[in-house]
A = this chain, B = another copy of it.
């Protein structure tokens, strides 16, 4: 019984299901059937809307990146009045917020990195994310670290990614606060050096 205007709803459900399934299985070896089933429809319908599994993966990536970007933007807006360090703190809190820093999302992230090795489109998406993160960090660091802002941002960016990566091996609930603390320790050490 075809209700009209299903397309956006179906697509959103598939994107969500894709992320869940990747996170659950811990790999990109998820079948379209699994995804479709979790999204409550037939595999054929999933193909109908996305054309290919790769398109589903890319849409899922875009979604995660969008969510993350929105969270960072929101946090930065809320910290507009603060100084550079406050703004960095905001970025870090957003990066390790419970919404982003949970096993399922981390697993999806990791697999997107793998995807980026072979799918140029995926690589481009990740590069955009990295570029945005970097420019946010640099902007906040400029008044604190001067010309070393770029170098510090690179280190901090890599550290954030590394903390995500290490979450994969951990057992038990993710500890975003600890990750933020580690990143802040890095920041403070670097800032003290400058002076």
Contact = CB atoms under 8 A, between A and B. Distances in A.
Interface of A: 25-29, 107, 110-111, 113-114, 116-118, 123, 126-127, 130, 151-152, 154-155, 157-163, 165-166, 168-169, 182, 185-186, 188-190, 192-193
Given A155-B182, A182-B154, A27 B162 contact: no
29 contacts: A26-B117, A27-B28, A107-B117, A110-B113, A110-B114, A113-B165, A113-B168, A114-B114, A116-B168, A116-B169, A117-B168, A123-B169, A130-B169, A152-B185, A154-B182, A155-B185, A157-B162, A157-B166, A158-B163, A158-B182, A159-B159, A159-B186, A161-B166, A162-B165, A165-B165, A185-B190, A185-B193, A189-B190, A189-B192
Contacts of A154: 182
Nearest to A107: B117
Nearest to A187: B189
Nearest to A161: B162
Contact of A166 (B28, B107, B123, B158): B158
A193 B189 CA distance: 5
Contacts of A155: 159, 182, 185-186
A164 to B, nearest CB: 8
Given A162-B161, A185-B155, A186-B190, A169 B126 contact: yes
Give the top 8 A-B pairs by smallest Cβ distance, nearest first. Answer: A162-B162, A26-B117, A158-B162, A189-B189, A161-B162, A189-B193, A189-B190, A26-B118
Nearest to A179: B158
Contacts of A166: 130, 157-158, 161
